[in-house]
């Protein structure tokens, strides 16, 4: 009967600690309701955030190292000048976040997340995993995505512009549209549908798989006698 009040008191104490203390290490933050939370210059090392509500929160100049967010809602959260190293987001809502203001050279990974309307601008995101996410109508501008992987991610309506896509793997992505004149492509892996679209944009015709009706008839040669 008295379990719920104790849990509530524990969460309230945790909120006070978040506001009062400067650093946290090897801690787990679970089932918090902290919409609109504003934290400045906090440091988190090997911490886990689970099943918590952080919509429209702000983490100004905070430092996250080897941290994981699981099942959290960070819709329209802000991370101005935040340092993110070895940070993973799993099964979390990250809609409408502008990642452009985070510190340089972040180390991020996304799996099973909602990244609709997100904006990534002017960042080095080499070897970044964006796996099985929903990233519809997101903006990817002026990024280095070398060796990044978008396996199973829905990119319908998303824009790529000014990006380095060397060895970027989009082969199992959905809804990808790329303009080769506005991005640097080298050994970039794309789905068949995207490859066909690129070819058609350059004036080529690609017959359907197994369709020979669009192939020119072979010209017979007269045998010399």
Cα gap 168→126, rounded to integer Å: 9
Percent of the chain with pLDDT over 70: 88
- The string of pLDDT tens digits covering residues 82-97 is 999 999 999 999 999 9
* H or E segment to which residue 195 belongs: helix 192-201
**Is residue 208 pLDDT above 70, yes or no?**
no
* Residue that the structure tokens 């020119």 belong to: 216
Give Cβ neighbours of residue 63 (< 8 Å, ≥ 6 apart): 42, 43, 44, 82, 83, 85
Beta bridge partners of 169: 149, 189
Between residues 4 and 98, the one the model is more confident about = 98
Which pLDDT does position 167 carry in this prediction? 98
Cα gap 99→80, rounded to integer Å: 8
The region of weakest confidence among 6-10, 28-32, 110-114 is: 6-10
Cα gap 151→111, rounded to integer Å: 10
Cα gap 71→139, rounded to integer Å: 23
| Burial class of residue 84 (count of CB atoms within 10 Å of its CB; 0-12, 13-18, 19+) | buried
Give Cβ neighbours of residue 69 (< 8 Å, ≥ 6 apart): 48, 49, 87, 88, 89, 90, 92
Instruction: Share the mean pLDDT of the chain.
Output: 89
**Is residue 202 pLDDT above 80, yes or no?**
no
Beta bridge partners of 49: 29, 69
Q: Which domains does the chain have, with CATH numbers?
A: 23-201 (2.160.20.80)
Mean pLDDT of all residues in 92-107: 97
């Amino acid at each position: 009967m008295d379990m719920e009040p104790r849990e509530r008191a524990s969460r309230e104490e945790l909120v006070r600690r978040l506001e009062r203390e400067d650093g946290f290490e090897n801690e787990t933050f679970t089932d918090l309701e902290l919409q609109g939370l504003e934290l400045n210059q906090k440091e988190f090392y090997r911490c886990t955030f689970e099943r918590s509500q952080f919509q429209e929160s702000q983490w100004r100049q905070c430092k996250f190292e080897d941290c994981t967010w699981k099942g959290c809602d960070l819709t329209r959260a802000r991370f101005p000048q935040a340092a993110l190293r070895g940070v993973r987001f799993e099964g979390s809502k990250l809609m409408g976040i502008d990642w452009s203001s985070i510190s340089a050279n972040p180390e991020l990974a996304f799996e099973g997340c909602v990244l609709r309307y997100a904006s990534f601008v002017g960042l080095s995101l080499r070897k970044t995993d964006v796996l099985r996410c929903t990233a519809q109508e997101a903006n990817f501008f002026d990024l280095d995505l070398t060796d990044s992987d978008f396996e199973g991610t829905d990119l319908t309506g998303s824009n790529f512009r000014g990006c380095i896509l060397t060895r970027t793997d989009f082969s199992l992505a959905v809804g990808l549209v790329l303009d080769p004149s506005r991005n640097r492509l080298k050994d970039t892996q794309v789905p068949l549908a995207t490859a066909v679209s690129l070819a058609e944009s350059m004036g080529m015709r690609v017959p359907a798989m197994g369709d020979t009706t669009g192939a020119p008839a072979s010209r017979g040669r007269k045998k010399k006698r």
